[in-house]
Structure 1
């Protein structure tokens, strides 16, 4: 069964699914200097928690 985007909760807010293009795009909008591939790598490296991913992506603004 697919994930219903209309039914969201706290778990949806704190986790990121690297396989969901809309979630990767949302992070790309927050970190436009990072490519989609770099964002997927950050998710793979740091795990699914949004806070960890955002902290990791914020470190290298170049």
Structure 2
């Protein structure tokens, strides 16, 4: 589980698929995508934020 008290660069470059607030934040950046599409991208491309963003943009 993600420790919200321990944040830093590692926390900023990853998205925790089990944390609804992190998934929702990504979803807000891609309002044309469904919540499920965002979750599917996280599961398919892994937790790295850059990979998820690239997949959702393409």
> TM-score normalized by structure 1?
0.85
RMSD, aligned α-carbons: 1.5
Structure ID, larger Rg: 1
Would you identify which runs of 4 or more consecutive aligned residues in structure 1 move more than 3 Å? Answer: none
| Alignment pair present for 1:27 and 2:56 | no
> TM-score normalized by structure 2?
0.90
**Number of residue pairs matched by the alignment:** 58
For residues 22 and 8 of structure 1, do their structure 2 counterparts lie closer, same or farther at Cα, with a shift above 3 Å needed? same
